[in-house]
Chains A and B, each alone.
Chain A
Amino acid sequence: MMFKKKRKFSVDIPTASMGDIVFLLLIFFMVTTVFNNEMGLQIVLPEDSKEEIKVKSETIVKVRIDKFGNVKISYFADGTEITEPVEWRNVSDKTIEILEMDIEEKLIFSIIPTRLAKYEYMIRVFDQLKIAFEKTGRTERISLSPAEDDED
């Protein structure tokens, strides 16, 4: 009786294609990667407290925005309230002007849009205020007030 000779196989895993696989994976992840670039204007909302905090009306600068995007700034100077219409592009300059008059650094800027004002109008005024605070190096004191009704 004759037995077949068993052939000896070498037991190597071929790794020649490893590089190809890794490159493929690499290209897949490179293509699908989306780096985080979320940008936004940050704000901290007021707490929902039953107690009302009383603030002197002289320390509040009201920035009203109507449905057409017109901006009016009301502030106190020498005890009298002044209301001025301001082009939105000039809000930051006007804010810097008001901030420079406020030596005690007590002023709070309150944005009051009307109900039908576009979101964009609010954002661009908010942006202008932020820029002004950044330029003057003051701590940010900006609040978003509840919407007012539109005048017809």
Chain B
Amino acid sequence: MKFERIEKEKAEINTASVSDIVFLLLIFFMVSTVFKAEQGLKVELPEAMAAKKISIKHIAHIWVGYKGDNGVVSIDDRIVPIGKVKDIMQLKKRINPNVIVSIMADKDTPYWISNDIFGQLIKANTLRVSLAARVISDIK
């Protein structure tokens, strides 16, 4: 009677595909990474429950703060007078006709500043606006 010889197999985990997985992860993170483009102003956003996610593709930010009784407006990390907002936004509209203006205003700024900015946006014909807010699930 003949017995078959049992071959001894090495118990190793195949690691050849690890580099493939890592490369895949690497490419995913490389593609999805968005480096912070602007610093903006230090603002404390108001809270809202109905805030929705907006696509980052078409966004132009306007940061609104205040100093004493005056409004401080920052676009692309430059402080601009409120009267100049129209020209800047017109330029942005020409580059991207689908531009959405995201207003990052401090919750304590008096309303007249944002009112003036809305006026400028209407003049520049950039009518799609998002009022940035922190999302809360319930009113305190």
Q: Is A30's CB under 8 angstroms from B29's CB?
A: yes
Residue B109, interface by CB 8 Å: yes
CB distance from A30 to the nearest CB of B (A): 5
Give the B interface residue count (CB, 8 A): 56
Task: Return the contact of B131 from the options A123, A146, A147 (Cβ within 8 A).
Answer: A123
Within 8 A of B (CB), among A100-128: 113-124, 126-127
Q: Inside 8 A of B112's CB, which chain A residues have their CB?
A: 115-116, 147
Within 8 A of A (CB), among B105-140: 105-115, 118-119, 121-123, 125, 127-135, 139
Q: Is B33's CB under 8 angstroms from A26's CB?
A: no
Within 8 A of A (CB), among B46-62: 46-56, 59
Residue B1, interface by CB 8 Å: no
In the complex formed, the residue of B with least CB distance to A134 is: B50
Residue B102, interface by CB 8 Å: yes
Q: Is A48's CB under 8 angstroms from B26's CB?
A: no
Q: Is A32's CB under 8 angstroms from B35's CB?
A: yes
> Beyond A41-B130, A41-B131, is A119–B50 a contact (Cβ under 8 Å)?
no
Residue B19, interface by CB 8 Å: yes
Prevailing SS type, chain A contact patch: mixed
Residue B13, interface by CB 8 Å: no
Q: Is B59's CB under 8 angstroms from A23's CB?
A: no
CB distance from B128 to the nearest CB of A (A): 6
Residue A86, interface by CB 8 Å: no
Residue B30, interface by CB 8 Å: yes
Q: Is B111's CB under 8 angstroms from A34's CB?
A: no
Q: Is B131's CB under 8 angstroms from A22's CB?
A: no
> Beyond A115-B111, A144-B118, is A39–B127 a contact (Cβ under 8 Å)?
no
CB distance from B26 to the nearest CB of A (A): 4
> Beyond A48-B125, A120-B108, is A40–B131 a contact (Cβ under 8 Å)?
yes
CB distance from A71 to the nearest CB of B (A): 13
Residue A151, interface by CB 8 Å: no
Q: Inside 8 A of A134's CB, which chain B residues have their CB?
A: 50
Q: Inside 8 A of B129's CB, which chain A residues have their CB?
A: 42-45
Within 8 A of B (CB), among A6-25: 18-19, 22-23, 25
- Interface set of B (CB-CB < 8 Å, partner A): 18-19, 22-23, 25-26, 29-30, 32-36, 46-56, 59, 64, 100, 102-103, 105-115, 118-119, 121-123, 125, 127-135, 139
9 examples of A-B residue contacts, CB within 8 angstroms:
A19-B19, A26-B26, A38-B53, A38-B132, A40-B130, A41-B48, A115-B111, A123-B107, A124-B46
